[in-house]
Structures are given as C-alpha cells and as structure tokens.
Amino acid sequence: MFKTILPLSAILSLRFLGLFLVLPVLSVYAMGMEGATPLLVGVIVGGYALTQAIFQVPFGTISDKIGRKPTLFVGLLIFLVGSVIAALSTDIYTLMVGRFLQGAGAIGAVVTAMISDLVPEEVRGKAMAMMGGTIAIAFAVAMGLGPVLGAAYGVDTLFWITAGLSIMAMLLLFTKVPTPPRIRHIYHNTTSTMDILKDPNLLGMVIINGMQKGLMTVAFVLIPIILTNPVAEHGFGWEKADLWMAYLPAMIFGLVAMGPAAVFGEKYNKAKQIFMISIVLFILAFLLMGFATSSWVFIVGVVSFFIGFNMMEPLVQSLISKYAKVHQKGAALGVSNSVAYFMTFLGGTFAGLMLDISSAQMIGISLAVVGLMWLVWTALKLSNPAKHSHLFRKIEDTDMAKLEALEHEAIAEWYINETEALVVIKYRSDDIDEESLVAKISK
C-alpha cells in the first residue's frame, strides 16, 4: 500500500505545499498592492477555490472516463501556468487571475479517486490518513517557511517555488504512479450530480466538507491580518516574519491529533463523534480569536482551530469514497470538493467583507453561531457508516449468470476488476456470511 500511496500523496502534497506557502502572508501582501481593499484581498485568498469549485466535477467525471493520469497531468499544467502568472503579477487584478488559474487545475478529487481505485476499502482509511498526513506535513512546513521566505525574498518568490513544485509533481506522475486497474461495473455509465445529492450519506459529507473548508479560508484571512495589524487598530503588531510562531505550534498539535482521530473514526467507527468534537473546537477557536486581548490567547485559538481541522480532514475523504459506488467515486469526490472549494471562496470573501464593516468580536460571535448550527445539524442528521466487507472471487470460478442475478439487501454493490480478473462484492458481513455469498455465485 505504501509504495502505491506515497507517490500520489507526494503529488498532492507538493501542490498543496505551493498553495500553503503563500497563505500565511498572502492577505498582508495583497493589502499592500495598489487598489487593494479587504474585500478584494479576501477574494484573492479564496479566489483559487472558486475555479476549483467550477472544475472539480468536470475533472472528477472526465477522470472516470478517460483515465486518472491524463487528467492529473492537465490539472498540474494549468496550476503551473497560474503560479507563473501570480509570480509575475504587479497589481492586484493580475494576482487574482493567477490565483484563479491555480485553482482551475482541480486535481484533488482525481487523486482521491485514484487512491480508491488502487487500495482495498479495508485499508482505505489508512491510505486516506496517510494522504492527509502528508498534506498536513506540507501544511506545517509551509506555515514555518512561508512567513520567513516571504519576508526575506518576497511573496513573488513563493509563487516561483510553487511553479517548481508543480514540475516536480509532473515528474512523479509519469515515473512513480502506477496505472489503476480497469474496472467494469454493473451500473450505467453516467452519474448525475442529483444522484449524489439524493444519497443522504453523501449529502452529509458534502456539507461537512464544505463547512470545514469555508472556515479554513476565514481563518487564513483573519489570522495574519489581526496579528500584524498595529495595536491601535485592534491588532497585535507582529512582523510578517514572526507569523510562524502562531502557525507552527498549531500544525504540530494538529498533526498529533490526527492519528487518534483517524483510529477512532475508522477502526472504532466513531466518525460522527470525531466530527462533533472538531466542530466544538472550531467554535472555541473563533471565540478565542475574536475576543483575545493578548497574542497568546489568540494563538490558543489558532491551535484549537487546526486541531479540529486536522482531526476532521482524513475522515471526510475516506467516508465519501466509502459511501460512493465504484462508478461514482470520481464524480462524488468532484461534487464534494466542488462544494468545498466554493465554500472556501465564500469564506475568504465573507472574512474580507466582515473586516471592512465589523469588529473581530462580532466576526467571532457570527462564526460561533454558524458553528453551533452546524453542530446541531451534525448531531441530528449524521450517522456513522455501516461496516462492509469485500469478497474477492476469480472470474473463472464465478457463474456470471448467477452474479448478474444476484440480489440481497446486504449487498451494496459488485463489480469486476478486469486487470486482475476478479469479481468484487461489497457486503455487510453482519447480515450475510461469506460462505453463503460464495455459494450464490459459484459455478
């Protein structure tokens, strides 16, 4: 599993490292450009997410049809072009174009779907946690290096570094990433967005993913601006180069929290409980950041936010891939990520607008109320997933007529892995045992 997942995780992590490097300082950098307003700065911080939202579903759906690798390459190429434009920008609107293009290379759902193709569901949670862990490490590195490199060499240098990282990701794609198996399923060849949104489990994960990502962008607009604002303007007067002192401990605590959260969420099937704890941490974080009178209290709020974010991240992607049928994975992850990135854009825009018209305290209260409503919805509507097992049977030992006529309420789906000549049946082992299942399809 590790040899399969590491190259894909590295590709996604290199891309996110480039995006994360600028996040700690981007709002402060953009505010210094001619014509900048807090609203435009919020759009720039979350701008890449708007085009991510637009292109996630097309990228995910196209990858289901033409293959994951070609789709990944196109996405990385677009991301490279956007990074170069952002590096060369001298005004806020050109920077905005670069950020929009960075987001148009929407490969997140494709990578996650590819992991789902290559890794059995029984260990998919570990694979998603590994992917989430490498992204979190990229996050931690970026939080430490971004403010230091940006202060020393300029934010434009960070965008050039991002362009170089995208080239490295392309090289990994063609030298280290295996080709997924060919899958033939029993379902129709197309998946509509409504098919996904009508599934209550998938809809629940779409909402959770969207809320999590939207609040992340709010945090990345607020944190650097409040910390670097002069004390007279209700800030703490930090230098940009000192921002790592807030981000680095937050990411360390977040990484530590990710492991136990993944174990309890996956192994003990307590994902709902982990989500609820994370939401409580979000509420606490924004209240602390909104009402902090010292930078240390503010940092406690930042730490609380990143612990909640990192606890939630690997479980979200894993559960979406579990709930989606085999022919839906790319599209389902595309829909989920599309909504998440649209919420990311709204979060950045909302934060910029609120900074224009309101106080930090009012922003904290508003976000806490949103978090409380999210917590109540999660408690009432979300359920932990049913646990499934998989039967792997050689095609040569399978009666295809019996297989095509197979019906049982405990069977979620079946499909054929043509590359390995296997029939794969996903079923609830509590309701039907493996021997009975084998008897139903054997020659």
pLDDT tens for 67-121 read: 788 889 999 999 999 999 999 988 888 899 999 999 888 787 788 777 777 776 5
Is 431 a residue whose pLDDT tops 70?
A: yes
CA distance 257 to 310: 7
CA distance 85 to 80: 9
% of residues, the chain, pLDDT over 90: 20
pTM of the model: 0.72
DSSP state of 125: H
Q: How many CB atoms lie within 10 A of CB 47?
A: 26
Nearest to 27 by CA among 5, 47, 51, 2: 47
Min mean pLDDT across 30-34, 150-154, 185-189, 228-232 is at 185-189
Give 420's pLDDT tier (boundaries 50, 70, 90). Answer: confident
CATH number for the 2-381 domain, one of 1.20.1050.10, 1.20.1250.20, 1.20.1740.10, 1.10.3720.10? 1.20.1250.20
CA distance 161 to 26: 15
At 442, is the secondary structure helix, strand, or coil? strand
CB 147 within 8 A of CB 241: yes
For residue 167, what pLDDT is reported?
94
Nearest to 9 by CA among 149, 108, 88: 108
Find the mean pLDDT for residues 30-51.
82
For residue 33, what pLDDT is reported?
82
Nearest to 345 by CA among 139, 100, 85, 147: 100
CB 26 within 8 A of CB 155: yes
For residue 128, what pLDDT is reported?
65
Give 136's pLDDT tier (boundaries 50, 70, 90). Answer: low
Q: Where are the beta strands (DSSP E) in 235-365?
A: none
CA distance 330 to 145: 33
DSSP state of 178: P
Is 386 a residue whose pLDDT tops 50?
A: yes
CA distance 224 to 220: 7
Is 190 a residue whose pLDDT tops 60?
A: no
Q: Which two tokens stand for residue 109?
A: 């759902």
Neighbouring-strand partners of residue 184: 416
List every span in the chain annotated with CATH 1.20.1250.20: 2-381
Give 187's pLDDT tier (boundaries 50, 70, 90). Answer: very low
What average pLDDT does the structure give for the chain? 82
Q: Check the CA dihedral 247-282-314-337 and report its sign.
A: negative
- Residue with the larger pLDDT of the pair 281 and 27: 281
